[in-house]
């Protein structure tokens, strides 16, 4: 128990050394004394997985579910370890086991679809996807206005961790707003984005009802036209903020050729499916190649660079929190010599609008790493400006929000 506690303390502190070295040392020492401690086995396996030591993570997680087969989260971690050691069939079997045990768990459903697809079991994946969409669709009201009204009645139920609200509140630009009003608007922004996603995926025949929320689209068209005129693509960097899912609808409506990196499985049959580059059922190398093909084909390539399917995704510090950050977009823009853009969807008078700003171009002869650092600084400056804005534009889930922890009261000198 002591070793578990010490290891968890390092994980909570969250520096790279804490996560990749110190916590593991305690879990390993604990397992020497108690090799069949399921909690220690799970913690050890998960920490190895998140440290990118995929092969090493398999054995402790396998042993944990052998000892405690009903532990769903542990089995989910084991499935991820199998996936990242390229054991796709075995990963799919573990996900199907979970789904059989908890058929209504939407996370397991979506993960199982990706696992089946990656294992080459496309027919099963498609059948499961249709069930998944039907189940979610059955929960939606008949019309989008009805869905919106129901959502607004349920704002207090938005499952947003308090630490995320506190962190976002600390970054607000309008210090005159009262917390209750601010929080209600933040909850609205969180829930509307998820509703838009459900509507887009489950109500394809009535998607135009949601499209009524899209604002004036000519701005985006005018912005991208000269950038695409050269026949090469554009790297568009965004984050998990604002009405993320509205971007797909907007670019499709305007007819801008686009590809979006997304965790949705590639077998999705919706109208936007061909615009997706899926991270759910492809390796990182396959995803990178697909991105380069998109740029060479003259597409706008959209990447939420604060999100990653990989459990060992790199992180950086932003506004006092550990956030996932991928340097892939910056390096891609440098390598391929194409322009890059910061993009953030936001609400303006009840309709979706967009912030579009150029990110730095590489200087002649500039080294990739130097450019990537300059680019990262500019990206986070623009993201910080966005987060200081109206609370409905926060989103508060995924990406930068995923690893937010409560502020350490001991760090406050006034405490």
Q: Are 92 and 121 in contact (CB under 8 A)?
A: yes
Crossing angle for the helix pair 106-118 and 72-84, to the nearest 10 degrees: 20
Length of the chain, in residues? 415
The residue-averaged pLDDT of 11-17 equals 64
Res 415 pLDDT > 70: no
Q: What is the mean pLDDT of residues 95-115?
A: 92
pLDDT digits (tens, 9 = 90+) for 354-387: 999 999 999 999 999 999 999 999 999 999 999 9
C-alpha to C-alpha distance for 92 and 99, rounded to whole angstroms: 10
Q: Assess contact for 344 and 241: CB atoms under 8 A.
A: yes
Residue entry with tokens 């542990």? 74
Q: Look at strands 300-304 and 258-262 and give their pairing.
A: parallel
Q: Which comes out higher in pLDDT, residue 339 or 24?
A: 339
Percent of the chain past pLDDT 90, that is, above it, reads 60
Question: In the prediction, which pLDDT does 272 show?
Answer: 67
- Distance, in Å, from the CA atom of 125 to the CA atom of 157, rounded to the nearest integer, reads 31
pLDDT for 357: 96
Cα–Cα distance measured from residue 113 to residue 107, given in angstroms and rounded to the nearest whole number? 10
Summarize the confidence of residues 175-195 as an average pLDDT.
Answer: 96
Mean pLDDT over 115-142 rounds to: 91
> At 299, is the pLDDT very low, low, confident or very high (cuts 50, 70, 90)?
very high
> Rounded to the nearest 5 degrees, what angle is found at the Cα of 260, between the Cα atoms of 227 and 373?
65
* Residue 333 burial by Cβ neighbours in a 10 Å radius (0-12, 13-18, 19+): buried
Q: In what order do the strands lie in the sheet with 300-304?
A: 276-278, 258-262, 300-304, 234-238, 340-348, 351-358
Whether the CB-CB separation of 187 and 155 falls below 8 Å is answered with yes
Mean pLDDT confidence for 125-136? 90
Give the H or E element holding residue 16: helix 16-17
Cα separation of the two ends of the chain: 30
Q: How far apart are CA 74 and CA 363, in angstroms?
A: 48
Asked if 189 and 347 touch (Cβ cutoff 8 Å), the reply is yes
Task: Provide mean pLDDT across the span 278-292.
Answer: 87
Q: Reduce the DSSP state of residue 199 to 3 states and report it.
A: helix
The mean of the pLDDT values for the chain is: 88
Question: Confidence class of residue 8 from pLDDT cuts 50, 70 and 90?
Answer: low
Q: Please say if the pLDDT value at position 268 is more than 80.
A: no
Does position 247 have pLDDT exceeding 90, yes or no?
no
Pairing of strands 315-318, 321-324: antiparallel
Burial of 291-304, coded b for 16+ CB within 10 Å and e otherwise, reads beebbeeebbbbbb
Which pLDDT band, with edges at 50, 70 and 90, does 15 fall under? Answer: low
The pLDDT of residue 413: 35
Residue with tokens 């977009």: 329
Q: Is residue 47 pLDDT above 80, yes or no?
A: yes
**Which is more confidently placed, 67 or 415?**
67
Residue 88 has pLDDT above 80, yes or no: yes
Residue pLDDT, tens place only, 197-221: 899 888 888 888 988 888 877 888 8
Is residue 1 very low, low, confident or very high in pLDDT (cuts 50, 70, 90)?
low
- Under the banding of pLDDT at 50, 70 and 90, the label for residue 311 is confident
Q: Residue 410: its pLDDT value, please?
A: 46
Q: Per residue in 152-175, pLDDT tens?
A: 999 999 989 999 999 999 999 999
3-state secondary structure at position 4: helix
Q: Judge contact between 67 and 73, C-beta under 8 A.
A: no
Q: Which domains does the chain have, with CATH numbers?
A: 1-132 (1.25.40.10), 144-207 (no CATH), 213-401 (no CATH)
pLDDT for residue 411 is more than 60: no
């Amino acid at each position: 128990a002591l070793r578990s506690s010490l290891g968890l303390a390092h994980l909570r502190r969250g520096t790279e050394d804490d996560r990749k070295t110190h916590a593991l040392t305690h879990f390993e020492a604990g397992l020497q004394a108690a090799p069949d401690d399921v909690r220690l086995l799970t913690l050890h396996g998960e920490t190895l997985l998140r440290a990118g030591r995929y092969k090493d993570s398999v054995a402790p997680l396998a042993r944990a579910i052998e000892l405690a087969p009903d532990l769903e989260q542990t089995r989910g971690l084991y499935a991820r370890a199998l996936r990242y050691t390229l054991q796709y069939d075995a990963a799919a079997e573990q996900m199907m086991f979970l789904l059989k045990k908890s058929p209504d768990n939407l996370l397991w459903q979506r993960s199982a679809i990706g696992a089946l697809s990656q294992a080459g079991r496309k027919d099963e994946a498609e059948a499961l996807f249709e069930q998944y969409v039907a189940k979610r669709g059955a929960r939606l009201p008949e019309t989008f206005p009805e869905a919106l009204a129901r959502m607004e009645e349920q704002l207090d139920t938005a499952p947003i961790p308090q630490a995320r609200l506190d962190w976002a509140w600390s970054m607000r630009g309008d210090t005159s707003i009262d917390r209750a009003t601010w929080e209600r608007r933040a909850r609205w922004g969180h829930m509307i984005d998820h509703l838009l996603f459900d509507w887009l995926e489950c109500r394809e025949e009535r998607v135009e009802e949601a499209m009524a929320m899209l604002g004036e689209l000519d701005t985006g068209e005018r912005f991208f036209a000269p950038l695409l005129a050269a026949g090469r693509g554009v790297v568009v960097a965004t984050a998990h903020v604002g009405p993320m899912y509205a971007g797909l609808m907007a670019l499709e409506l305007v007819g801008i050729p686009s590809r979006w990196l997304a965790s949705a499985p590639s077998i999705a049959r919706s109208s936007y499916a061909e615009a997706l580059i899926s991270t759910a059922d492809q390796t990182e190398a396959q995803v990178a190649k697909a991105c380069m093909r998109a740029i060479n084909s003259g597409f706008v390539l959209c990447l939420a660079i604060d999100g990653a399917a990989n459990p060992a995704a790199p992180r950086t510090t932003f506004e006092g929190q550990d956030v996932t950050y991928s340097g892939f977009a910056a390096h891609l823009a440098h390598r391929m010599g194409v322009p890059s853009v910061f993009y953030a969807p936001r609400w303006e008078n009840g309709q979706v609008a967009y912030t579009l700003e150029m990110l730095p171009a590489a200087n002649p002869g500039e080294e990739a790493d130097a450019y990537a650092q300059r680019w990262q600084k500019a990206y986070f400056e623009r993201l910080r400006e966005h987060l200081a804005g109206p609370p409905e534009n926060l989103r508060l889930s995924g990406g930068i929000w995923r690893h937010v922890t409560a502020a350490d009261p001991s760090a406050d000198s006034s405490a």
